[in-house]
Amino acid sequence: MDNRNTRRQRFSRRDFLRTLLTGGVAFTGIAASETVFGTKRNFNNRQPAPKEHGESHSNFGTVGEVDYQANGFDPHEMLYDWDYGEISTLPTGQTLREYQIVAVDKEIEIAPGVYFPGWMYNGRIPGPSLRCTEGDRIRIEFVNASAHPHTIHFHGIHAASMDGVPGVGAGEIGTGESTVYEFDAAPFGCHLYHCHATPLKRHIHKGLYGAFIVDPDPKKYQGQKREVAKTRNHAYQENEQYNEMLMVMNGFDTNFDGGNEVYAVNSIAFGYMKKPIQIRANQKQRIYLINITEFDPINSIHIHANFFDYYDHGTTLEPTLKIVDTIMQCQAQRGIVEFSFEGFEPGKYMFHAHQSEFAELGWMGFFEVVDG
């Protein structure tokens, strides 16, 4: 009796075990599969996108504000901040424009709370926007107050000794040293200058570059071309019908891994998105656009809801591309973009690099078109 009892007991235990191992496990297994693997199995049932994650648009972009005062420059002022130099007339009657450019090392805030140890001309990136008329004599006293040797190399026509490259003419200018670059401004167009000290890549991406705008001299052209030249020359009243802006497309490699963490026009990520550029609908718009972005082969601009004419290098009075809404530039390529928002509904019109990556890393902004 005792024996049978134990045996029965053991049987029941085994039964229990068997139940657990077969039925129970199988049943609970199905439940588990549904809970844990369910999402994986329903691959065909997947929704087009996960649920609406609130206002996803407002979640994009940087957090906070850049302190322009601490930086010493404001990207909005930079748009219109042309440097005409100290003007005088040479005995020959030629206009002389004298500039002093000082290379310095300074930390600037390029995105809210992100600081870049830059090298720059006159304490700003991009450096001063030099503006003159073709045929002017340009004299630049270059002082190097940076801890590294630098040069200024101009894109323009000049003598070999004025080229601002290592080993030619004054060559690299050491710390505390200075030199004078002198040449006649030619040809007219939208140009740039930059440091050509080696290693070139680092000297450029650190911030040593700026705009060099040479306006055409209307006296040298006839008929329609003269009229166009007048609108391009800052000294003529015809120029005032244009809202002229300088945009230098640049990037910053904050962790020095050979790729940019920040892209922008005029250095500040989303600078023109947080505060749009106000433009009047009835005014013609002209952008002097320069690409100095390091590490990436090209950069580009796309203007929303509108089309523009493009003058590659700005060296012609006729557009080189008509009615386009996107153009691209390799490094040091530049040009003039002309458009108008006349007759458009007032509002915010976006412009950005049409490399989505650059756009989302800071090279994106708005024109805020206002009436009148």
Query: CB atoms < 10 A from the CB of 174, how many?
Result: 12
Q: Which amino acid is at 331?
A: Q
The rounded distance, in Å, linking the Cα atoms of 230 and 212 is 18
Q: Are strands 284-291 and 242-252 parallel, antiparallel or unpaired?
A: parallel
| Nearer to other proteins (CB atom), residue 6 or residue 161 | 6
Q: Which residue, 17 or 235, is less far from other proteins as judged by CB?
A: 17
Pairwise CA distance, residues 341 & 346, whole Å:
9
Q: Which of 296, 270, 272 is nearest to 204 (CA)?
A: 296
Of 86, 92, 72, nearest to 140 by C-alpha is: 86
Of 28 and 88, CB closest to other proteins: 28
8 Å CB contact between 217 and 233: yes
Distance CA(43)–CA(116), nearest Å, equals 45
60 or 80: CB nearest other proteins: 60
Q: How far is the CB of 69 from other proteins (least distance, A)?
A: 18
Q: From the CB of 22, what's the least distance to other proteins, in Å?
A: 11
Of the pair 4, 46, the CB lying nearest other proteins is at 46
Cα atoms in the 13 Å half-sphere on the side-chain side of 315: 12
Q: Which residues 6+ apart lie within 8 Å of 230 measured at CB?
A: 218, 236, 238, 239
Contacts of 113 (CB under 8 A, 6+ apart): 64
- Decide whether 202 or 284 has the Cβ nearer to other proteins: 202
Which of 337, 235, 320 lies closest to 284, judged by CA?
A: 337
Nearer to other proteins, 86 or 107 (CB): 107
Nearest CB to other proteins, comparing residues 11 and 307:
11
| DSSP for residue 24 | I
With H, G, I as helix, E, B as strand and everything else as coil, classify residue 291: strand
Q: Identify each DSSP E strand in 91-230 by its residue range.
A: 95-111, 114-121, 129-133, 137-144, 153-154, 178-184, 189-194, 209-215
Sequence-separated (6 or more) residues with CB below 8 Å from residue 137: 90, 94, 95, 96, 97, 182, 183, 184, 185
Considering the complex, what minimum distance in angstroms separates the CB of residue 254 from other proteins? 2
- Closer residue to other proteins, CB minimum distance, 245 or 359: 359
Contacts to other proteins by CB under 8 A: 10, 13, 17, 21, 25, 28-29, 31-33, 35-37, 39-41, 43, 46-47, 49-51, 53-54, 56, 58-64, 111-117, 252, 254-255, 257, 261, 269-270, 357, 360-362
For the CB of residue 242, give the shortest distance to other proteins in the complex, in Å.
32
Residue 117: CB minimum distance to other proteins, A: 8
Provide, rounded to whole angstroms, the least separation between the CB of residue 61 and other proteins: 5
Nearer to other proteins, 63 or 160 (CB): 63
Q: Scan for tokens 């007759």, then name that residue.
A: 343
| Number of other CB atoms surrounding residue 36 within 10 Å | 9
Q: How far is the CB of 48 from other proteins (least distance, A)?
A: 10
Q: How far is the CB of 24 from other proteins (least distance, A)?
A: 10
Asked whether 106 and 123 are in contact (CB, 8 A), the reply is yes
Q: Compute the least distance from the CB of residue 51 to other proteins, in Å.
A: 6
Q: How far is the CB of 159 from other proteins (least distance, A)?
A: 39
